[in-house]
Chain A
Amino acid sequence: MKETIGILVKNHPGVLSRIAGLFTRRGYNIVSIAAGTTEDPKYTRITIVAEGDKRTLDQIVHQLNKQLDVIKVIVLGRDESVRRELALLKIEIKSGMERLEVMEIANAFRANIVDIGKKIITAEVTGPTEKVNAFISLMSEFGIKEIARTGKIALSRGPMSIREEKEDIEWEEE
């Protein structure tokens, strides 16, 4: 199963390689990893989508919690969190007709067209991973020249911050 894990860490040099290194060393699979600054510059938030059985995922959370730089680890279940990722795509178009089709699909996905050329349209799509995947899949019928994806980021729904969330691990099948 794939799960989304939110991690609040101290913004130290090398903290990302420390966290990523833990996954390498213990043989855990990372599907995606995204990191960025938070409301407090002393901390970084990392979102990792990890894949494994329940025991492995439990281990991932425990091992992360053991890291000195980690303040808090939470599991972000689909129903209790807002989960997004962003993708940029260069789509190949061969005709004016195709251009219109691409723009129409992009519109349906609320994707932004950020650059248009004679043979290439660059689109930006944001949403849950499933939506991004669906968009990419449709665009691949035209021909995709290049993709850049951010990896998933997520926040829990409701008023609480990661620091206030409970620590219990509850996995759900995705």
Chain B
Amino acid sequence: MRLTGAEMVIEALKRENVEIIFGIPGGAMIPVYDALYKSDLKHILTRHEQGAAHAADGYARATGKVGVCFATSGPGATNLTTGLATAYMDSVPVVAFTGQVPTSLIGTDAFQETDATGITMPITKYNFLVKDIKELPHVIKEAFYIARSGRPGPVLVDLPKDIQNAEGEFDYPDNITIEGYIPDPPVSKREVLRILDVIKESKKPIIIAGGGIIISEASEKLREFVNLTKIPITTTLMGLGSYPETDELSLGMLGMHGTRYANYAVSECDLLIGIGMRFDDRVTGKIEKFAPHAKIVHIDLDKAEIGKLVNTFLGVVGDAKRVLNILNEEIKSKGLSFDFSSWHETLREWKEKHPLKYDLSDEGGVKPQYIVETVGKLTNHKAIIIGEVGQSQMWAAQFYKYIEPRTHLSSGGLGTMGYGLPAAIGAKLGRPDKIVVDISGDGSFQMNLQELATISHNKIPIVIALINNEYLGMVRQWQELFYDKRYSHTSLSGNPDFVKLAEAYGIPAKRVTKNEDVESALKEAIESGTPYLIDFIVKKEENVFPMVPAGAALDDMIG
């Protein structure tokens, strides 16, 4: 089949079962948009390319499929970069197509020229600059294959305008392999079974589940494993939803703003099994004092993660689901059982003694923690919650109680303020059956609020719960605790009237100033079936606790 390069892009997207594209056209991308015009593929016009990248990311995280975004050359490509870096840090499959100046002009500082592949090299899993129409079908196939296989990640395909216009034979391969790339390495059963020997010797084991469980769709196997072994489990921020937090063996999230009992458990345990997680500094605290009594078993698909930051007693390279399956089958066939009841008793005491807590008073405004708890209650813990970055992100992580995978979306690795609103667009369009709530600070919200137009125009029923404290709250918290309250440039006074702002975009909105009005307002927003913004005027100097100060050991918590 003879097609132009632009038509090939659209045809390839159909073959990849892409349902939706997020993007913004521009001079160097017009041919692709022209081919799109003639197709029935759904495209959402965001108001900023960063929004397109985050929306593709949110779609991918909510559905497990590859998110797709389009942008033009130059500023279009550079505007995508924050979104690509966000997806890269959290291993999210996204394929970005960017326009590029014609091949004859590359390197001449042409209008809207930028080195898109050069700029995105360190923030993509791979990228391509297509210089020959003959390569294009194969390149797109590879892009999707690379993005979704192995440890997923974003891939960028840079398309010079003359390549978009050139004609060629569209021969789209069904399956491909890439030399030297082994996305799903064979798992050594012998090594996996050594884990059981270590568990047998252990008295105080703990599991840390990370985002890898969600990516590998291993939640059920994890549940079975915990059920068979009765090993208590904590999750990283990215692992929220991988295991139901309502279960009695769940210790919730660990780390800088994790629960006291999860952090105590890690500091006390004699065996730590990390699955699909990477010992981030926000998880470990001071690394020299991390899990000081534990043998560390690390299961990860990415060999480079094993031994990167902590010394592992046993490292197993492999997909979490496969590894857990081998373990479960062995435990069942051998009829193994484990008894950690005295360890459970210790943890139960810690849980009772140090629960997550806050003071529900009306003094100074609404309590952010109460807002998050109420969202949890009203949605049976089954909505998709998008955390922004900072305090609102941490409250959304601490107080919702996640029970299903792919229901907590957050920029964990890069910590991108402004991620939430556009990611919510992608999540809602990918999972229209789900209630989607963006729990957003006023700082983060203003970094991508232009997407209100996208939400309004496309009537995307997202609930925006604005935690409005007129501060860059997390930085303010650090300034309060560690910089003698020198609030250097963290006040956001000068904020607009967010209710009027939403209304200007045609989005219904309401302001809530008292705890007693939180539930009814949220109920109304959720049931409205339309986009809805609630401006919660919260207590300005509320802090996220507990907290492990930067550089402290995990059990050295304040608050």
Contacts and interface: CB of A to CB of B under 8 A. Distances in A.
Interface of A: 10, 13-14, 17-18, 21-22, 25, 55, 58-59, 62-63, 65-66, 68-72
In this complex, which of A65, A66, A71 has the most chain B Cβ atoms within 10 angstroms of its Cβ? Answer: A66
CB-CB nearest 6 A-B residue pairs: A62-B304, A71-B180, A25-B122, A68-B126, A63-B304, A62-B303
B1 interface: no
A62 B180 CA distance: 13
Interface in B163-184: 178-181
Nearest to B306: A62
A62 B312 CA distance: 16
A109 to B, nearest CB: 40
Contacts of B68: none
B179 A59 contact: no
8 contacts: A14-B121, A21-B122, A62-B303, A65-B303, A66-B302, A68-B126, A71-B179, A71-B180
B355 interface: no
Nearest to B178: A68
Nearest to B303: A62
B118 A17 contact: yes
In this complex, which of B178, B179, B180, B307 has the most chain A Cβ atoms within 10 angstroms of its Cβ? Answer: B180
Nearest to B308: A59
Contacts of A22: 122
Contacts of B126: 68
In this complex, which of B126, B302, B304 has the most chain A Cβ atoms within 10 angstroms of its Cβ? Answer: B304
Interface in B532-559: none
A68 B121 contact: no
A119 to B, nearest CB: 41
Q: Is the interface of A mostly helix, strand, loop or mixed?
A: helix
B271 interface: no
B147 to A, nearest CB: 11
A41 B146 CA distance: 24
B121 A18 contact: yes
A66 B180 CA distance: 9
Nearest to A14: B117
B125 interface: yes
Interface in B266-317: 302-304, 307-308
Given A10-B180, A63-B304, A69-B180, 18 more contacts: A13-B129, A14-B117, A14-B118, A21-B121, A22-B122, A25-B122, A59-B308, A62-B303, A62-B304, A62-B308, A65-B303, A65-B304, A66-B303, A66-B304, A68-B146, A70-B180, A71-B179, A71-B180
A55 B121 CA distance: 24
A25 B129 CA distance: 21
Contact of A59 (B117, B122, B304): B304
A55 B308 CA distance: 7
Contacts of B307: 55, 58
A143 B307 CA distance: 47
Interface in B31-53: none
A69 B125 CA distance: 11
Contacts of A62: 303-304, 308
Contact of A72 (B117, B146, B180): B180
A21 B118 CA distance: 10
B139 to A, nearest CB: 12
A59 to B, nearest CB: 6
Contacts of B308: 55, 59, 62
Given A55-B307, A59-B304, A68-B146, A10 B179 contact: yes
Contacts of B179: 10, 71
Contacts of B178: 68
A57 B308 CA distance: 10
A40 to B, nearest CB: 12
Contacts of B121: 14, 17-18, 21
Contacts of B122: 21-22, 25
Contacts of A17: 118, 121
Interface in B108-148: 117-118, 121-122, 125-126, 129, 146
Nearest to B117: A14
B344 to A, nearest CB: 35
A13 B69 CA distance: 25
A70 B179 CA distance: 9
Nearest to B125: A68
Contacts of A70: 180
A58 B305 CA distance: 11
